[in-house]
Amino acid sequence: MQRIGFIGLGIMGKPMAQNLLKAGYPLVVYNRSRPAMDELTTEGARLADSPKAIAEQSDVVISCVSDSPDVEAVALGSDGIIEGAKPGLLYIDMSTIAPATARKVYTTLKATGVEALDAPVSGGDIGAQQGTLSIMVGGDEAAFQRSLPILQAMGKNIVYIGEAGAGQVTKACNQIIVALTVQAVAEALTLAKKAGVDVAKVREALMGGFAQSRILDIHGKRILEGDFQPGFKLNLHRKDMNIVLQTGREMGVPLFGSAQVTSMMDALLAQDKGELDNSAIATLYELLSGLT
């Protein structure tokens, strides 16, 4: 089996790494904080002290970190993957970053004989835990075929999109739909609450018609229960929407709905709610509607 290195053991990365261990892959891990690394060692992973050390010990390196600068540092920076990589290494970045950054990493590593894929994911912490993530992949198709058995240990809906950066463009599209659907669910349930009807029954009725969605199911339940423990943190979704708006500007595409929901996220961040789940947008609707 190919030796895998995994960098980034957060809400998403840790369960993804655990699924690779369950699939039998030899795994070495690196994370900026120690507790998650220690937990993985009890399950059979080995530790490394830098992305460079990860690359030196691996055939395939996977990263799942927060933002474009983090990926550049991990892949191309001092003590980064590029310093420990040998020709033939495959690097799979499963973070959500700017398409331009994904293309830069691909081009730079390609010149050293390293293949790179951008393979962002959707499905939240639940999908990461259950190994049912949707994975959208950009890069060379031969590299994708090599990665497929590994990706299948973490996800179910795995689609090769096209050239480098294409996976990140797809993820930007995904984040638009998620953000606007969360907003729609929050708006609808706030209207129902303000009208004095049974919000749980409203959600139940909507789940049986064209309004049905996974977001109405999972996020609607969170809104009903007022439970905003993060499956996907609001501040990370706000970061993704910055990528969306940046990409729209680069492509000359007006993104009116994205701009509006991003402004609402900004209002929540100003209230120090960035660590809550992205469904916490409902709290802003309730505040503005006089319900809190």
CATH code, domain carrying 278: 1.10.1040.10
Which of 124, 147, 163 is the last residue in one of the domains? 163
- Domain that residue 93 falls in: 4-163
Cβ neighbours around 120 below 10 Å, total: 26
139 and 177 part of one domain: no
Q: How confident is the model at residue 292, as a pLDDT?
A: 87
Task: Report the chain (292 residues): mean pLDDT per 10 consecutive residues.
Answer: 95 96 97 91 96 98 96 98 97 97 98 98 93 98 98 98 98 97 98 98 97 96 96 94 96 97 98 97 98 92
Same domain, 18 and 99: yes
CA 51 to chain centre: 20
Instruction: Tell which residue, 132, 240, 135, has the closest CA to residue 182.
Output: 240
Domain boundary at 131, 163, 195, which?
163
Say whether both 219 and 280 belong to one domain.
yes
What is the number of domains present in the chain?
2
- First and final CA of the chain: distance in angstroms? 55
- Cα 38 to Cα 59: distance, rounded to the nearest angstrom: 22
Residue indicated by tokens 């994205």: 258
What's the rounded Cα separation, in Å, for the pair 81 and 50?
Answer: 9
pLDDT at 185: 98
Which position among 14, 52, 104, 171 bears the catalytic label? Answer: 171
Residues 78 and 176 in one domain: no
Residue 150 CB-half CA count within 13 A: 27
Residue 186 sits in the same domain as residue 221: yes
Q: Residue 45 is part of a domain; what is its CATH number?
A: 3.40.50.720
In a shared domain, residues 46 and 91: yes
Q: What is the pLDDT of residue 124?
A: 86
C-alpha gyration radius of the chain: 20
What DSSP state is assigned to residue 277?
B
Contact 29, 57 (CB under 8 A): no
In the chain the beta strands, taken as DSSP E runs, fall at 4-7, 27-30, 46-47, 60-63, 90-93, 115-118, 121-122, 133-138, 155-162
- For residues 88 and 22, membership in a common domain is answered with yes
Rounded Cα distance, 101 and 107, in Å: 10
Residue with tokens 């995994």: 6
Residues 203 and 104 both lie in one domain: no
- Chosen domain end from 132, 163, 194: 163
Strand partners, 123: none
Cβ neighbour number for residue 274 with a 10 Å cutoff: 18
Same domain, 47 and 138: yes
Catalytic annotation present for 171: yes
Residue 281 and residue 182 in one domain: yes
Do 101 and 193 sit in the same domain of this protein? no
222 with 150, same domain?
no
